[in-house]
Amino acid sequence: MKIDKVETFLVRWGDVSRPAEAGFGAATAVVAVHADGLVGLGEASPMQGGVASLAVIARDMAPALIGGDPLDHAVMLDRLLHKLIKLGPDGIVTGAYAALDIALWDLKGKALRQPIHKLLGGAWRTRIPFYASIGGNAARDVDGVVRTVEARLKAEQPSAIKIRWDGTRSEVDRDIKGDIAKARAVRELVGDDFPLAFDANNRYSIGAAIRVGRALEELGFIWFEEPVEYYHVKAMGEVAQRLDITVSAGEQSYTLQSVAALIDSGVRMVQPDIVKMGGVTGLMQCAALCHAHGVEFVPHQTQPAIGNAANLHVLSTVMHATKPAELADGWSRSADTFVNAPRPDGGCMVVPDGPGLGLVVDAAMLARRRVDVTG
């Protein structure tokens, strides 16, 4: 096979007849790799629209890929990552790498007429329980949190729920008592046995994290995500070691080595994100690292179509699935474009079984939503 074209573009969500919306989730950064009449699609990390990763692909990576064989993709991509390492590698370059890796797996699957999970060794399961990941709770009062959770429970019927705090990243320990009150109110809403998780989005000091973590233990939460700043790796490990509740981190880890550092620090559940670190290949390497250390592998996932499908292919191949898969707010925004993208189905998502990612694209809708930003 031979790569003959690499395209980069945004897919703009929302009402296409209206002016472009701003903000998180408004667009997805897509790469399309063409070879032998087939097209593989990949997706970069959506931070700031993902345009920086798309620019690196268009300017620095695409020229080196043209003429290459998609079946040599790991060699080509690792060569590029190491060539461009001084641009990051965290974030922009690894997002670009992840997008290309996913696209090349999609392309390989289409060429071989097999779903990605078959090429990875086969699926242990094709229905994957999901949790609703409900953000923005720092800005709500207790009633607002309860009403929001109630609505998502009813609409999506998830297998578990995670309440995320989000909030202002430059503040810590703003409302510890209020945060615990919100967690308690959600526990009262769902009853004693429903699985709940709490995502602090890095907003506590070590002492506050211990206090909140103890409350979550009493309330029967099953994990406590990113209690302290992601870049304080030793602090994250200290909190993990001092609490009984499972402490998780890793959505802001961009390399296998930084996931290894988290595990070394004492974190026992890691959450790498397929569009941020390594794509399908990187996530499979993380799964192996976790397996080697007896650490839970529960990827972070916020994307509506390509990223979600790629993540589910990987998850289906992992023997020990200890927690549900993430389904973040706004997942339905791609439904008119990626018409068979995984969606809630009795508490689960179904892993696509078509070639590659197995996604079916409405080409006319994709053309309407497409915005060329580079190249």
- Nearer to Ca ion among residue 95 and residue 352 (C-beta): 95
Nearer to Ca ion, 100 or 212 (CB): 212
- Residue 202 CB, shortest distance to Ca ion, in Å, is 9
Residues 199, 238, 273, 296: which binds Ca ion (CB under 5 A)? 199
CB of 41 to Ca ion, least distance (A): 25
Which of 64-72, 152-160, 169-177, 191-199 is the region at the interface with Ca ion (rule: CB under 5 A)? 191-199
The smaller minimum CB distance to Ca ion, of residues 276 and 369, is found at: 276
Q: How far is the CB of 167 from Ca ion (least distance, A)?
A: 12
Stretch that binds Ca ion, among 42-50, 101-109, 166-174, 194-202 (CB under 5 A): 194-202
Q: Does position 326 bind Ca ion by CB under 5 A?
A: no
CB of 4 to Ca ion, least distance (A): 39
Alpha-carbon distance of 3 to 67, in angstroms, equals: 5
Say if residues 358 and 319 touch (Cβ distance below 8 Å). no
Q: What is the 3-state secondary structure (H, E, C) of the chain?
A: CCEEEEEEEEEECCCCCCCCCCCCCCEEEEEEEEECCEEEEEECCCHHHHHHHHHHHHHHHHHHHCCCCHHHHHHHHHHHHHHCHHHCCCCHHHHHHHHHHHHHHHHHHHHHCCEHHHHCCCCCCCEEEEEEEECCHHHCCHHHHHHHHHHHHHHHCCCEEEEECCCCCCCCCCCHHHHHHHHHHHHHHHCCCCCEEEECCCCCCHHHHHHHHHHHHHCCCCEEECCCCCCCHHHHHHHHHHCCCEEEECCCCCCHHHHHHHHHHCCCEECCECCCCCHHHHHHHHHHHHHHHCCEECCECCCCCHHHHHHHHHHHHCCCCCCCEEEECCHHHHCCCECCCCCCECCEEECCCCCECCCCECHHHHHHHEECCCC
Query: Binding pattern to Ca ion, positions 146-185, x when CB under 5 A?
Result: ----------------------------------------
Q: Quick one: angle between helices 142-156 and 176-190, nearest 10? A: 40
CB of residue 355 to Ca ion, shortest distance in Å:
32
b/e sequence 211-233, b meaning 16+ C-beta within 10 Å: bbbebbeebebbbbbbbbbbeeb
Q: Shortest approach of Ca ion to residue 201 CB, angstroms?
A: 6
Sign for the CA dihedral angle at 92, 331, 299, 268 comes to positive
Q: Shortest Cβ distance from residue 288 to Ca ion (Å)?
A: 23
Q: Which is nearer to Ca ion, 7 or 273 (CB)?
A: 273
Nearer to Ca ion, 124 or 230 (CB): 230
Residue placing its CB nearer to Ca ion in the complex, 199 or 296: 199
Q: Kindly indicate which of the ranges 37-45, 65-73, 192-200, 234-242 contains the residues binding Ca ion, using the contact rule CB under 5 A.
A: 192-200
For residue 300, the minimal CB distance to Ca ion (Å) is: 6
Which CB, 107 or 183, lies closer to Ca ion?
A: 183
- Stretch of 17-25, 178-186, 193-201, 358-366 contacting Ca ion, by CB under 5 A: 193-201
Q: How far is the CB of 225 from Ca ion (least distance, A)?
A: 5
> Which span sits near Ca ion by CB under 5 A: 198-206, 209-217, 233-241, 279-287?
198-206
Interface with Ca ion: number of residues (CB under 5 A): 1
Beta bridge partners of 132: 161, 327
Closer CB to Ca ion, residue 110 or residue 300? Answer: 300
Interface region with Ca ion, contact rule CB under 5 A, candidates 31-39, 195-203, 328-336, 354-362: 195-203
Q: How far is the CB of 343 from Ca ion (least distance, A)?
A: 21
- Select 166 or 173, whichever has its Cβ closest to Ca ion: 166
Q: Which stretch binds Ca ion (CB under 5 A): 58-66, 114-122, 196-204, 316-324?
A: 196-204
Structure tokens at 243: 């609490």
Q: Is 23 exposed, middle or buried (0-12, 13-18, 19+ CB in 10 A)?
A: exposed
Give the residue with the Cβ less far from Ca ion, 179 or 199: 199
| Residue least distant from Ca ion (Cβ) | 199
Which positions touch Ca ion (CB under 5 A)?
199
